[in-house]
Amino acid sequence: MKVRVFVSLKNGVLDPQGRAIHHAIEGLGFSGVADVRAGRMIELEVDDTVTDAALDQMAQKLLANMVIENYSIERVAA
Amino acid sequence: MTFRSAVITFPGSNCDRDMAVAVEQVCGGDVHRVWHGDANLPEGLDFIALPGGFSYGDYLRSGAMAARSPVMQAVIAAANRGVAVLGVCNGFQVLTEAGLLPGALMRNAGIRFVCREVALQVENNTSIFTNRYFKDQRITVPVAHHDGNFFADEATLDRLEGEGQIAFRYAEEVNGSVRNIAGVLNAKGNVLGMMPHPERHIEKAQGGIDGRALFESVVRSLVSA
């Protein structure tokens, strides 16, 4: 089974990369984009024995830095 | 008694030799070079230094992989026993990722890599790492980093200020760090992380000697203790 872990900066944490991307989007002539936040998506291929609790632990211990980031987990049906 | 220290090398460390030379020249004693895959540290260490560089290619987050390496479990145990631990630049990032220091180091607010000498102010001159400086002393030390933007929540910052855990502040804008924090101590005062590189300013040929007092502080504190 495929699992996607989305990691993003917490609200209130400044995101210089998102800001730079926003500038670049505007530089290309696109308008109407109010804000950009950059994050990362990590895809795991896991077997059925891997529990939600284990995935939470992986995210909290390694995939996200809980000081500055939030995460969400999505199981993708095969 | 002989001063016993260790400098850890991770794959991608690039300031480990500079650090070892600085420790050897200023502190003297036995400097052990330790590889990241070693599960054990040499016996009876007084001081452990985590050098700058790009450990594990900065994969995932700067310092994230190194913080989970075998040797770091031994470093965490040593720090909890009270051994002095210094992390510079990537070493600072590793210490925050390992949970030995509060906060996190994010991408510089200006996006660009910053590589130059910066002015620092000594905030705490009573720690084992800083007691050879004067309070509020202005010093000049080089920085070279992309992810040096220190962040912690307001409650944590107030606690750090109140407990004297802010060792150094930038005396100029460098990377967007909250409250201009350049170096922080843990609550017990035996772990220091800082983005600037004191090991790069220990003799005149390097352009300055303001980093020297940090290593003098360590050896004076630990050998006379």
| Cβ-nearest to A67 among B108, B110, B152 | B152
Annotated active-site residue in B15, B27, B36, B89: B89
**pLDDT on residue B218:** 96
Output phi, psi for B71, to 5 deg: -65, -30
* Cα–Cα separations (whole angstroms), residue A58 to B10, B61, B98, B176: 23, 15, 15, 30
Q: Is the pLDDT of residue A78 over 70?
A: no
- Whether residue B160 contacts residue B104, with contact meaning beta carbons closer than 8 Å, is answered with no
Asked if B60 and A20 come within 8 Å (Cβ–Cβ), the reply is no
CA within 13 Å, CB half, B121: 12
> In this predicted structure, what is the pLDDT of residue B223?
82
Contact B60 A14 (CB under 8 A): no
> With pLDDT > 70 as the criterion, what percentage of chain B qualifies?
99
Nearest-Cα distance to chain A for B105, in Å, is 9
- b/e code B106-142 from CB counts within 10 Å (16+ = b): bbbbeeeebeebbbbbbbbbebbbbbbbeeebebbbb
pLDDT of residue A77: 79
Q: How many CB atoms lie within 10 A of CB B93?
A: 31
- The answer to whether the Cβ–Cβ distance between B96 and A62 falls below 8 Å is no
What confidence tier does A61 reach under pLDDT thresholds 50, 70, 90?
very high
Total domains, chain A: 1
pLDDT at B22: 97
CA distance B65 to A33: 35
* Residues ≥6 apart with Cβ < 8 Å to B198: B22, B88, B141, B210, B211, B212, B214, B215
Q: The domain spanning residue B71 has which CATH number?
A: 3.40.50.880
pLDDT for A33-54, tens place per residue? 999 999 999 999 999 999 999 9
Residue-wise pLDDT for B87-132, tens only, equals: 999 999 999 999 999 999 999 999 899 999 999 999 999 999 999 9
Q: How far is A6 from chain B (nearest CA, A)?
A: 13
Residue-range definition of the domain harbouring residue B186: 4-224
Domain count of the fold of chain B: 1
Q: Would residue B197 show up in a list of annotated catalytic residues for this protein?
A: yes
Residue of A nearest to B151 (CA): A68
Q: What residue ranges of chain B have pLDDT lower than 70?
A: 224-225
Q: Whole domain around residue A55: which residue ranges?
A: 2-76
Beta-strand runs (E) in B55-113: 84-88, 104-106
Give the nearest partner residue to B111 out of A20, A62, A63, using CB atoms. A20
Candidate from A20, A62, A67 with C-beta closest to B104? A67
Q: Answer yes or no: do A68 and B104 touch at CB < 8 A.
A: yes
- Phi and psi at A57, nearest 5°, equal -65, -40
Residues 6+ apart with CB under 8 A from B54: B12, B13, B14, B62, B90
Chain A hits for B106, Cβ within 8 Å: 13-14, 16, 68
CATH of the domain at A46: 3.30.1280.10
